[in-house]
Each structure stands twice: as structure tokens, then as C-alpha cells.
Structure 1
Amino acid sequence: MTELIIFDKDGTLMELGSIGVKLADDLINEFSARSNIHVPKSEIKDAFGLIDDQLDKVLRAESVKAIVERLRVLPEGDRMADWTLNQMEHLSADNEASDIEIIPGVKETLQRLKEAGYKMAVVSADDQQSMNLFLDKFELSSYFDLVITSDNTHYQKPQKALIDEIVSKLNVTASEVVMVGDTEMDVMLGRNGQVKKVIGVLSGSGDRQDLRDADLLLGSVGEIQIDQIK
């Protein structure tokens, strides 16, 4: 029986409002997949010269070459810079900056799950300040029994130890956990952690191919039904 539902944040609970922001999110996931070095999302954003999620402003203000060169100062930076340059070739100069907002239906789904008695956690490579801004803006803090950010864990996706830490803190077993996320890294986290079920959502940067190993694929968190969690 399911006792705990773990949600990713960016692209799962929170909108990725532009191609530029999606690129930043993909970059963070790619960095995690290629390196065992724990680099918080905020530090990667800083390498772009970012404040919060305003990547588009940087793309308009600086050349691609300058942005890529900033990435090279990070551990594994040369490889990530080359990967980013390749991804940026697909960006359109016509994209306008847009704010990141809560994904439609998320709050209503969280309310239903809370009323049904499920424990819930949210996990993100973002820092606590960025997490708090999102949770506070949309009054979501009361729904979560545990919030995991780069500031309060030594682990990162897709390490099994991250799931182990969460289930230990909330006194459940992995076989009682459902993982919900929008990227291949979220699916890998669930698989590595041997959770009961992995639900992939297409509301973020991952596509059907990225989420092919999920047990269930939905358009967004807003489509989750109680009988899909049990």
C-alpha cells in the first residue's frame, strides 16, 4: 500500500515557462548524470549569470560563446559547455522571457492526496531559498511532510541514497513510495530507490522517450487520480 508520494519540483509542480529555462533544467539533469560531484542548481544558474530563473535575459544580453565559457569553470565544465553549445543551436532568438508559475491542477491534486491521508515530499536540486519562494507564493508548504533541497542533503538524483534518506526520515519503506517527475533523472531515481511506482509527467522538459521507463505516463500532476496511487 502506498504511504508516501515524492514529487520533483521544476517541470512537475512548477512550470518551465520558456525554452531557455527548460535548457537550464536539462543542463542540470545532464550534469548530474555525467558527474558524481554535487553541484546545487543555484551554482549552475550562477555560471550563466542568473538570478532565479531568468535565463532568457542572459541569452538576449550575452553571446552564446560568453555563456558557454562561464560554464567551463565548473567541475566537468568543459563537457557540459560543449553539450550546452549543442543544445543552444536549437534555440530561437524570438523567444520571450516568461515567468515560471504553478502547473494547473497541482494544488488541487495535492489537496486531494493530503485529504486521502498520504504523506508527501518534494525533492529538488534547487536551493532552499528558491524552494521557499515557490512554496510560499502558492501556499503549498502545508502539503509536504518533507522538503529536500541542495541545502539539506548530501545526495543528488538519481542516487539510491536520496530515496533511502527520504524514507528513513518519514518512517516508510521504498515499497510504499510513488515517485512523480518530469525527467529521466526522476525515473532513474525511483528505479534506483526501488520504489513501488514511478509516474512520469509530460509537463516539463522530459518527453515520452525520456520517460519510457515510468510505470505510468500522464500529461501533468493535475491528471493524477487516487486509484493510480494506491
Structure 2
Amino acid sequence: MKWILFDKDGTLIYFDESWNRIGMQLVDDFITEYRHDINDINEAYRALGIIEGKIQPGTVMASGSLQDIINAFNNLTNKNVSQWAQERSQALIDQRVPDNKRVEGVYSTLKTLKSRGYKLGIVTSDTKKGLDQFLKATETTQFFDVVIPTEAHAVEKPNPDVLKPLFDQFDVEPYEVMMVGDTPNDILTAINAKLGYSLAVLTGVGEKEDFDQANYIANDANEILTILDEVK
């Protein structure tokens, strides 16, 4: 194994509650904007994974990609709301104030991985602005050889093309790469891109039962140091 790719939110930092606030606001705005096209508003909230004002784990609003969310919106309105959803989501993200609280011990883990000669990267559904804020707040810029954000209209996990910047810039084969993340989409990215291994962590939105396709499941990203001893 030569490369380790990390998701950001819920993997390197504890899940950022600002994402939940954005998700809730996006759904509220969607319901308001398209209320005349929705048959049952209460059922629409439930279908999107919101119960008693909270986003439930394992639902589309908890761990789905923006395209997954748009598909759910389209199903509820029987129309294409893609442009509205993309623009509103981007506007909310641009206003976001992230938490960026590092998972305990992860700074030391990244330092150890670099000392062992691994190349490290970040693949996130956050924007470049959010990624830059994370790197500055956590003081981890020096550890990463490639960082891949997701801007508006770009491909998203689990589309394997999201890893194109890695394979375009570096001489590396998919089997030499491990993906570490906290959602099923992270694991599916590894599968779709035919990466060597995938590691699911439980510091984010995913539940253990969501990760039956992962090669490994760990409580947090720090356990990768032990796991890598097994995959050499």
C-alpha cells in the first residue's frame, strides 16, 4: 500500500454539525419552494430522513451525495429541481462556518504515516474553501500530497472519476491505494475505483451495519496504523 486517501468530515474531524444545519435548511427551503408540488409535507420530511426535526443516520440527508438528495427531491415533486437544489446547496455551503474539531490522535497518526513513507490525500464532498479552512484550522497541510474537493457541478463520490486528479498527477495504480471514510459512499468509491482496500470508521454518520462492503471497520482513523501491518 502506497497511498492512503481520507474523507474529511467524520473521518479526520468529528462530524461537523454545521452540515446537519445546512441539510435541515436545504430541506426546509425545498419544502417551502415546492410545497404546492408535494402531496404530504410531513411524509416528505420522513422520506428525506428527518424525524422530529433531526436528520436520522443512514438516510439520504445524512450520508447521500448531492445527486442522491436531488433525486429524492425530484421524486417528491415529480419534476426536475436540479438547478434550484444545486444553487441553493452551494449558497448554504458558501455561508457555512465549519467546526473542524480533529479526531483525537489523528494528528499523530498522520505524522506517523508520513514518517513510514505513505503518500496521503483528502477526498471530500466539501468545497475548496471548506477544505482550505480545515487545513488551516487543523494545521495539517504539510501531511497531504493531494487534496480533492468537490465544487458545484463536479462529479461526486461514489463516482470513481472523483479520483481522477490523483491518477492524473501521480504514478500510482488503484490497487496501491486505500480509502478511509465514514459513509457508504466512501466505501463505494473505493469499490468503483477498484482500490486496494477500504476502511470504514465510526466517527461520522455511518453505522457499523452500513459497511458490509468495507474491507475493515474501525472505531476511528487511528486504527489504520495497526490495519496497515496486515495489508503489507
TM-score (norm 1): 0.68
1:17–1:146 Cα change, 3 Å: closer
Q: What's the CA shift for 1:191?
A: 0.2
Q: Distance in 2 between matches of 1:119 and 1:153?
A: 28
Larger Rg: 2
Higher helix share: 2
1:129 maps to a residue whose letter is K
CA–CA distance in structure 2, aligned partners of residues 136 and 205 of structure 1: 24
Rounded Cα–Cα distance in structure 1 between residues aligned with 2:172 and 2:2: 7
1:138 maps to 138
The equivalences for 1:137-216 within 5 A come to 137-151=137-151, 154-216=154-216
How large is the RMSD of aligned CA atoms in angstroms? 3.1
- Of 149-158 and 215-224, the range deviating more from structure 2: 149-158
Q: State the alpha-carbon separation in 2 of the partners of residues 145 and 156 from structure 1.
A: 20
Kept after mapping to 2: 8 A contact 1:158/1:185: yes
8 Å contact from structure 1 (residues 47, 70) kept in 2: no
Query: 1:83-126: CA deviations, max 9, x gaps?
Result: 6665221546xxxxx94411111111111111111111101111
Q: Scaled by the length of structure 2, what TM-score is found?
A: 0.68
Question: What is the aligned counterpart of 2:44 among 72, 82, 88?
Answer: 82
Distance 1:133 1:72, change over 3 A: farther
Contact 2:176 2:195 in 1 (8 A): yes
Q: Tell me the distance in 2 between the aligned counterparts of 1:166 and 1:152.
A: 19
Contact 2:125/2:149 (<8 A) preserved: yes
SS, match of residue 217 in structure 2: strand
What 5-or-longer segments of structure 1 have no aligned partner? 25-44, 50-64, 74-80, 93-97
Deviations 1:160-200 (A, max 9, x none): 22234422322201010000000000000000000000000
Q: Which amino acid counterpart does residue 119 of structure 2 have in structure 1?
A: K
Cα distance change on mapping 1:206 and 1:90 into 2, 3 Å: farther
Letter in 2 for 1:194: K
Structure 2 residue aligned with 1:48: 25
User: Counterpart in 2 of 1:224?
Assistant: 224
The structure-2 alpha-carbon separation of the partners of 1:72 and 1:10, relative to structure 1 and needing over 3 Å to count, comes to farther
Residues 16 and 47 (structure 1), Cα distance of their counterparts in 2 relative to 1, 3 Å cut: closer
C-alpha distance in 2 between matches for 1:46 and 1:183: 16
- Identical-residue share of aligned pairs (%): 27
Which amino acid counterpart does residue 181 of structure 2 have in structure 1? G
